């Protein structure tokens, strides 16, 4: 049935392309590392199709981390709003994105603006488009924790973007259900899978096809780390963390837990540290002196994917990593109290541990010492799609552009009919 739907969608999209001459101007807004990774497959899919003219606009909410992420996919933004400043707050990001997009959308209106996910770039980008009455497409729509401050501010960013959007690309049935419960019109919601899986397939395919010397060049890990993960008989734990709601006490507890785990002689902890100063300060202070804790700069996506594959398990508060790790069969201890990605929890590869030192150490110890428990979490499965989400989004955009053109033509016909009709005075 699903295969038939895909075929029908592809057939309709092809037919529309052949009969419609006008190209669709798609304006893609992205600001942070995960948006870059998850929109890269969409940008590739649209750019290689003659129906689209694509403009990639980086807000610059992230500078280095976004460049690093886009670079791997060979994508260069057409516009860079360069809004980032050290220690920026939510007011800074929201207002600066809005102000920077105003003249761009005043000068020319794209046919549609695409945003992804739940960052403040996502929300402010959608809002700017709405203010100029430009249709908005939301990639990765409908995820919810139903807790206003967890994750903060992402839960509300995603809800608000969902209420602005005209077309919703929901990654799973559950995210579709969430939108339906909020009275979003069913005809505007499409279950596409998550483009994170497209990106993961793309990078793994690239890495798997390299011989060992080319692979070594492609994976830009420090030599010591590359050797370590390829030769050690210890267990490698990969760590990331950056959530705003974990700043302060949360990160203190996380660092204490990692410090405690590092007292074991059978583990190596590899932690590429996010550039946010609220993260770096406690991490450097508490963890930099431990010999078996390797603090790295943020890694490019190829190197990070390579490390995920080499790790025994992952401790993280990241959204994207919760989607990628199940595909790789890597257990995840998720340092959150609640998640908007319940699918992998239900399947058993992701476990919520919050930021309690005791709980993190307890669950990590179980994974290290109890083989049966480890095996029960370490199996490859993928609730987030088949790696074809970007193609579906492209085909749906072609359909969307044709229906917008039709309604525009109907509107124009109605208008000229009303002009031609005799007036009753």
Q: Which does 37 bind (CB under 5 to 8 A by kind): ligand UD1, ligand UDP, none?
A: ligand UDP
Q: Which residues contact 286 (CB under 8 A, 6 or more apart)?
A: 252, 255, 256, 258, 259
Residue among 119, 172, 176, 327 that touches ligand UD1 (CB under 6 A): 119
Work out whether 276 is an interface residue with ligand UD1 (CB under 6 A).
yes
Residue 59 · residue 83 · CB < 8 Å: yes
Listing DSSP states for 243-286 in one string gives -GGGTTHHHHHHHHHHHHHTTSTTEEEEEEPPS-HHHHHHHHHH
Please give the residue whose beta carbon sits closest to ligand UD1 in the complex: 119
- Going by the DSSP 8-state scheme, the letter that residue 93 receives in this structure is H
Given ligand UD1, ligand UDP, none, residue 301, with its beta carbon under 5 to 8 Å by kind, binds ligand UDP
Contacts of residue 188, Cβ cutoff 8 Å, sequence gap at least 6? 165, 166, 167, 168
- The active-site residue, picked from 49, 62, 111, 118, is 118
Least Å distance, CB 260 to ligand UD1, is 25
Query: Closest distance between ligand UD1 and the C-beta of residue 385, in Å?
Result: 20
Q: What string of DSSP letters covers 159-180? A: HHHHHH-SEEEESSHHHHHHHH
Q: C-alpha distances in angstroms, 21 versus 15, 46, 128, 232, 404?
A: 12, 16, 28, 58, 14
CA distance 331 to 348: 8
Distance CA 353, CA 316 (A): 10
Closer to ligand UD1 by Cβ: residue 63 or 180 = 63
The site for ligand UD1, by CB under 6 A, has a size of 23
Site track 77-96 with ligand UD1 (rule: CB under 6 A), x = hit: -------x-xxx-x--x---
Q: Establish if 140 lies at the interface with ligand UDP (CB under 6 A).
A: no
C-alpha–C-alpha distance, residues 405 and 402, integer Å: 5
- In this structure, what is the dihedral angle of CA atoms 348, 354, 360, 362, given to the nearest 10 degrees? -70
Under the binding rule (CB under 6 A), the answer on residue 272 touching ligand UDP is yes
Please tell me which residue in 51, 138, 242, 336 is annotated as part of the active site.
Answer: 242
110 vs 319 by CB, closer to ligand UDP: 319
Query: Which segment (14-22, 253-261, 298-306, 330-338) binds ligand UDP by CB under 6 A?
Result: 298-306
* Whole-angstrom distance, CA of residue 32 vs CA of residue 66: 5
Which residue in the set 65, 75, 179, 225 belongs to the binding site for ligand UD1 (CB under 6 A)?
Answer: 65
- Taking CB under 6 A as the criterion, the residue among 24, 28, 32, 70 binding ligand UD1 is 32
Taking CB under 6 A as the criterion, the residue among 154, 324, 340, 343 binding ligand UD1 is: 154
| Beta strands per DSSP E along 20-111 | 24-30, 52-58, 79-80
113 close to 136: Cβ distance less than 8 angstroms: yes
Encoded tokens for 12: 């309709």
274 in active site: yes
Candidate ranges 10-18, 139-147, 244-252, 315-323; the one touching ligand UDP (CB under 6 A): 315-323
Between 64 and 227, CB nearer to ligand UD1: 64
Query: Given the rule CB under 6 A, which residues bind ligand UD1?
Result: 32-34, 61-65, 84, 86-88, 90, 93, 118-120, 153-154, 242, 275-277
So which residues are the catalytic ones?
118, 140, 154, 242, 244, 274
- List residues near ligand UDP by CB under 6 A: 33-34, 37, 69, 240, 242, 272, 298-299, 301, 304, 318-321, 324
């Amino acid at each position: 049935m699903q295969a038939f739907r895909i075929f029908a969608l592809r057939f309709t999209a092809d037919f529309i392309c052949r009969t419609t001459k006008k190209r669709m101007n798609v304006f893609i807004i992205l600001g942070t590392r995960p948006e870059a990774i998850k929109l890269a497959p969409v940008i590739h899919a649209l750019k290689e199709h003659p129906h689209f003219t694509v403009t990639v606009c980086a807000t610059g909410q992230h500078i280095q981390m976004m460049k690093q992420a886009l670079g791997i996919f060979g994508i260069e933004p057409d516009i860079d709003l360069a809004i980032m400043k050290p220690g920026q707050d939510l007011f800074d990001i929201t207002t600066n994105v809005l102000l920077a997009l105003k003249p761009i959308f005043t000068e020319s209106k794209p046919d549609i603006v695409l945003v992804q996910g739940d960052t403040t770039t996502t929300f402010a980008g959608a809002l700017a488009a709405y203010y100029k009455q430009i249709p908005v497409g939301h990639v990765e729509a409908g995820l919810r924790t139903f807790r206003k401050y967890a994750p903060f501010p992402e839960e509300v960013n995603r809800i608000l973007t969902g209420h602005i959007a005209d077309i919703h690309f929901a990654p799973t049935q559950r995210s579709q259900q969430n939108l339906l419960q909020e009275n979003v019109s069913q005809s505007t919601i499409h279950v596409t899978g998550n483009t994170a899986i497209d990106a993961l397939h793309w990078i793994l395919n690239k890495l798997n096809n390299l011989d060992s010397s080319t692979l070594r060049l492609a994976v830009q890990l420090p030599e010591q780390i590359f050797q370590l993960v390829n030769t050690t008989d210890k267990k490698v734990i990969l760590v990331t963390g950056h959530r705003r709601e974990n700043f302060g006490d949360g990160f203190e507890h996380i660092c204490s837990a990692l410090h405690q785990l590092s007292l074991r002689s059978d583990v190596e902890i590899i932690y590429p540290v996010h550039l946010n100063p609220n993260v770096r300060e406690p991490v450097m202070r508490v963890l930099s002196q431990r010999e078996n804790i390797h603090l790295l700069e943020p890694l490019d996506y190829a190197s990070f994917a390579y490390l995920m594959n080499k790790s025994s398990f992952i401790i993280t508060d990241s959204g994207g990593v919760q989607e990628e790790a199940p595909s790789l069969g890597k257990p995840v201890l998720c340092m959150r109290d609640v998640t908007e990605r319940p699918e992998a929890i239900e399947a058993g590869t992701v476990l919520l541990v919050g930021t309690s030192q005791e709980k993190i150490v307890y669950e990590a110890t179980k994974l290290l010492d109890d083989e049966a428990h480890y095996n029960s979490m370490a199996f490859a499965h993928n609730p987030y799609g088949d790696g074809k989400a970007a193609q579906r989004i492209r085909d749906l955009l072609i359909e969307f552009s044709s229906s917008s053109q039709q309604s525009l033509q109907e509107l124009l016909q109605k208008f000229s009919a009303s002009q031609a009709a005799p007036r009753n005075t």
